[in-house]
Structure 1
Amino acid sequence: MRAAGDSTRGIADLVLHGGVVRTMTEQNPAATAIALRGGRIAAIGTDREVLALAGPATGTIDLAGRAVLPGINDAHLHATWLGALWPRTLFGPGGGEPRNPLHTNEQRRAAILRAGELLASLGITSYTEPGLGPGEDDGPTGAFGSPVVAQYRELAAEGLLKARVTVLSLYGELDGRSSLSDVLAGLAADRSSSDPRWLRFAGIKIFADGIPPMRSACTKCGYADGSSAGLLVDGVDDADREHNLTRMIVAAHRAGLQVGVHATGDRSIEVVLNAVELAGVGHGADLGHYVIHGDMASSEQLRRMVDLGVGLDVQPGIALCTGEQVDAVLGPGVAAESWRLGEALEFGVRMCVTSDAPVLSPDWRRQIAAADEWLGPAEDPRQRTAQLLRCCTVEPARQDGAASWKGVLAPGMAADLCVLAADPLAVAPAELPDVDVDLTVVDGRIVHDRAGTG
């Protein structure tokens, strides 16, 4: 047997051997080693096969039984805001509204770099900043406006990013209103990048509604106190707001742009799915549109997501943190009928498990543990962990439109990976947060080495 890959094309830059290689594919299930060359994966196989690619200048790392995974991709993470607040999170000790906004470009640059260091230490090699742009130029944090975009462009050009970044542009207020005219004007903005594999401007972010605990999610049933919430999109009445949100989504789709819509209530989710279905008529390109949060998505809506190719970005930790509040404002038992993660997995929804940091910690291990807790006991814990790991690697790469070159470990794919101190499939999901991230590699370059020894 020969190692997967073409060993005739040169000597490897780096070889990791003597461990477990979880490729997230059906290939090489017994692989113990992986070779990297020129920012790509050169080969995967047994120690003997892969070490044959090592030369005098090749770096070698003895995994000593540790596990290699594809680099983690957090598909919904506010890195600039995270860099400003960490170690605080909104749902953690000292949480609440941020009190240290970013006033200068130097502060924004420092926040992005600080977040990059933190994310590298967690094995995160890609992330999405879901909402940066002129809609927040006067925002209170300074972490979401156009100056942040400028800093990302500069850092990417200087080669200082430690993770690959996808950006959704924001033409309305964060957690607030947007207008049809502003969004339509924004569709013509410059989305070019010197290297889209490091910094890519994928499309737009729209806030359809708020969140259930604040009674701002747009729901079909209304709230226990008799109140109701409409869409955040501007309009003279509910029908006009729905029409305007639909026009935003259809126009973005026809401009070839991805749309990520913050929608938590079942009514807002319905409007989004109807709009995507309308947009696809005669314009059937799969642009990877997705619902962000989707707390109250029904079984029927999840099935429609599969049919329409609409993704879903979920935060299991938010379900655990806010379930009681949801029951308090919407009625007993509503939380248990929300966050249908099990059905999303069963139906095959393109689901990404994300952190929404700094709302929660950016630690993906905690999100997998939270998902497992929310789902309840598993018949096959190993299978569940594997499914949830895909939601942190394979599915986010699909959301990024990058499944052809990242998200799994295979010859020719990007050399983005992380090394865990133990095989994640050999521990219970609840134990995963205690498994150290020992090494992170992006584009073949080591960006985090916990022990400093490899």
Structure 2
Amino acid sequence: MRAPEGSTRGAADLVLRGGVVRTITDQHPDATAIALRGGRIVHVGDDREVLAHAGPGTGIIDLSGRAVLPGINDAHLHATWLGALWPRTLFDGDSARPWNPLRTNEQRRAAILRAGELLSSLGITSYTEPGLGPGEDDGPTGAFGSSVVGLYRELAAEGRLNARVTVLSLYGELDGRSSLPDVLAGLAAHRSSADPRWLRFAGVKIFADGIPPMRSAYTNCCYADGTAASLLVDGDDDADREGNLARMVAAAHRAGLQVGVHATGDRSIDVVLDAVERAQAERAADLGHYVIHGDMANSAQLQRMAALGVGLDVQPGIALRTRDQVDAVLGPGSAAAFWRLGEALERGVRMCVTSDAPVLSPDWRCQIAAADEWLGPASDLRQRMAQLLRCCTAEPASQDGAAAWKGVLAPGMAADLCVLAADPLAVAPGELPEVDVDLTVVDGRIVHDRTGIG
């Protein structure tokens, strides 16, 4: 008879003991050890309890006070592009002139694998490629077209992925136009993967607008120079473009697919939320739709997001780096009203802290530090750190539709974890980038070991 998932039957493959285990749940707040077997977590508790699951063939790691966390899940990271550019990021130079364009499948494959090694070194065990597909088959970077999708399928089948990957399909241009016929045709041809625990095609990425610093966010107000932007979706006028964006969202929803919409301006966010609300009224289903960036989301919109179950993917590092540019194009003090991270947390919005690498470094520790700086002083830094850690683990798992099997440390959950040199709840968020990632485990397999503890 087969043992059920999460069963304690049989000896563990790997035990980590003598440290701090941060489960990102309310359970086991004083845990010091964790046992893994068959790619799942077997037990979380104190050293004595967990060592009871060890056998003659069990690998035992002495944490020596280190801290275990769930594997980090970056919900918005362009890994293929990252592998081509790293160690450079788009903030290092002119993003309009892409470096190292990927011309061949061999180069693309190498870029994916290179990114995988980098992400493993940072404790990242899951990520979302937010936009791959035919809309970029002729794109200048070579990092987003249909060939990349094929390579991910090959690498997943070969067992070469160091992290679990979620893909949003792109039927328009990256940071550019999309048309309703192209999106509808893409949705009709949407294909899933053989093993969604390693490679999942969740739905579709749509670019609603651009970004405030480029005066391309679709806003309810004019820019300081008197100009106004339009949606990137094709249409004869603003009303037609808004209608086409709503039809794209509705079509994906009817197909049972998730939608991630790049929307930064308050007017574009309203269009997205209206579309989701109408789609849900037509077919009641929580598919995990979410707004990407959401720079100008206001209080009323955050309240609607929470009510509708619409998530929000934010990049605090971009907020810090662009606030002066935002003030320059929208007027002094404008940036202070954007990126309402604290309010999103208070209202219960499913918020994921992401890097948007290679726009910025994929180092999640830096994004947590940036979020803390943007939020300002806190009366309880420990509580803030716990909240932000959830935004890098449990919340992205929920966005992936995978909260039942990854994102926290509990029996039966995926054996995806990372080990930090110090307890993150014992340091200030601003100090987190100085805390090393010593070990990364995916599906029970060690993929990064900085100090040789494994």
Give the TM-score of the pair, scaled to structure 2: 0.98
What are the residue-to-residue correspondences of 1:374-453 with 2, within 5 Å?
374-453=374-453
What are the residue-to-residue correspondences of 1:126-141 with 2, within 5 Å?
126-141=126-141
Q: Which moved more, 1:7-16 or 1:433-442?
A: 7-16
In the alignment, what sits opposite 2:260?
A: 260
In the alignment, what sits opposite 1:61?
A: 61
Cα deviation, residue 189, structure 1: 1.8
Cα deviation, residue 96, structure 1: 6.4
Q: Secondary structure at the match of 2:166?
A: strand
Identify unmatched segments of 5+ residues in structure 2.
Answer: none
In the alignment, what sits opposite 1:116?
A: 116
Specify the code of the residue in structure 1 equivalent to 2:148. V
Cα deviation, residue 99, structure 1: 1.9
Q: Distance in 1 between matches of 2:113 and 2:94?
A: 23
Cα deviation, residue 169, structure 1: 0.1
Identical-residue share of aligned pairs (%)? 83
Q: Distance in 2 between matches of 1:192 and 1:265?
A: 32
Cα deviation, residue 92, structure 1: 3.4
Q: Distance in 1 between matches of 2:97 and 2:430?
A: 29
In the alignment, what sits opposite 1:223?
A: 223
In the alignment, what sits opposite 2:100?
A: 100
Do the aligned residues in 1 keep the contact of 2:133 with 2:144 (CA within 8 Å)? yes
Specify the code of the residue in structure 2 equivalent to 1:366. C
In the alignment, what sits opposite 1:85?
A: 85
Q: Distance in 1 between matches of 2:10 and 2:259?
A: 41
Cα deviation, residue 453, structure 1: 3.2
Specify the code of the residue in structure 1 equivalent to 2:321. C
List per-residue Cα deviations over 1:99-150 (Å, max 9, x = no partner).
2100000000000000000000000000000000000000000000000000
Q: Distance in 1 between matches of 2:8 and 2:432?
A: 39
Specify the code of the residue in structure 2 equivalent to 1:386. A
In the alignment, what sits opposite 2:318?
A: 318
Q: Structure 1 segments of 4 or more deviating over 4 A? A: 5-8, 93-96
Q: Distance in 2 between matches of 1:282 and 1:31?
A: 46
Cα deviation, residue 98, structure 1: 2.0
CA RMSD of aligned residues (A): 1.1
Cα deviation, residue 451, structure 1: 1.3
Do the aligned residues in 2 keep the contact of 1:13 with 1:38 (CA within 8 Å)? yes
Specify the code of the residue in structure 2 equivalent to 1:269. I
In the alignment, what sits opposite 1:339?
A: 339
Cα deviation, residue 192, structure 1: 2.1
Cα deviation, residue 93, structure 1: 6.7
Specify the code of the residue in structure 1 equivalent to 2:350. R
Cα deviation, residue 83, structure 1: 0.1
In the alignment, what sits opposite 2:359?
A: 359
Cα deviation, residue 97, structure 1: 3.4
Cα deviation, residue 222, structure 1: 1.3
Do the aligned residues in 2 keep the contact of 1:88 with 1:95 (CA within 8 Å)? no
In the alignment, what sits opposite 1:168?
A: 168
Cα deviation, residue 190, structure 1: 3.8
Specify the code of the residue in structure 1 equivalent to 2:157. A
Q: Secondary structure at the match of 2:69?
A: strand
In structure 2, the CA distance between the partners of 1:413 and 1:129, relative to structure 1 (3 Å rule), is same
Q: Secondary structure at the match of 1:336?
A: helix
Q: Distance in 1 between matches of 2:319 and 2:192?
A: 37
Q: Which moved more, 1:395-404 or 1:190-199?
A: 190-199
In the alignment, what sits opposite 2:143?
A: 143
Q: Distance in 2 between matches of 1:87 and 1:418?
A: 22
List per-residue Cα deviations over 1:271-324 (Å, max 9, x = no partner).
000000000013111000000000000010000000000000000000000000
> Are 1:70 and 2:74 matched, yes or no?
no
Cα deviation, residue 95, structure 1: 6.8
Q: Distance in 2 between matches of 1:363 and 1:172?
A: 29
In the alignment, what sits opposite 1:304?
A: 304
Q: Distance in 1 between matches of 2:69 and 2:415?
A: 11
Specify the code of the residue in structure 2 equivalent to 1:168. L
Q: Secondary structure at the match of 1:281?
A: helix
In the alignment, what sits opposite 2:289?
A: 289
List per-residue Cα deviations over 1:37-92 (Å, max 9, x = no partner).
00000001110110111111000000000000000000000000000000000113
Q: Distance in 2 between matches of 1:91 and 1:39?
A: 38
Do the aligned residues in 2 keep the contact of 1:355 with 1:361 (CA within 8 Å)? yes
Do the aligned residues in 2 keep the contact of 1:7 with 1:53 (CA within 8 Å)? no
How many pairs are equivalent?
A: 450
Q: Distance in 2 between matches of 1:83 and 1:98?
A: 13
Q: Distance in 1 between matches of 2:187 and 2:60?
A: 47
Cα deviation, residue 181, structure 1: 0.2
Q: Which moved more, 1:84-93 or 1:268-277?
A: 84-93
Do the aligned residues in 1 keep the contact of 2:6 with 2:40 (CA within 8 Å)? no
Q: Distance in 2 between matches of 1:50 and 1:7?
A: 14
Do the aligned residues in 2 keep the contact of 1:314 with 1:354 (CA within 8 Å)? yes
Cα deviation, residue 191, structure 1: 1.9
Q: Distance in 2 between matches of 1:235 and 1:419?
A: 50
Specify the code of the residue in structure 1 equivalent to 2:447. V
Specify the code of the residue in structure 2 equivalent to 1:28. H
In the alignment, what sits opposite 2:213?
A: 213
Do the aligned residues in 2 keep the contact of 1:7 with 1:43 (CA within 8 Å)? no
Q: Distance in 1 between matches of 2:96 and 2:55?
A: 53
Q: Secondary structure at the match of 1:379?
A: coil
Specify the code of the residue in structure 1 equivalent to 2:156. A
Cα deviation, residue 452, structure 1: 2.4
Do the aligned residues in 2 keep the contact of 1:246 with 1:272 (CA within 8 Å)? yes
Give the TM-score of the pair, scaled to structure 1: 0.98
Do the aligned residues in 2 keep the contact of 1:90 with 1:97 (CA within 8 Å)? no
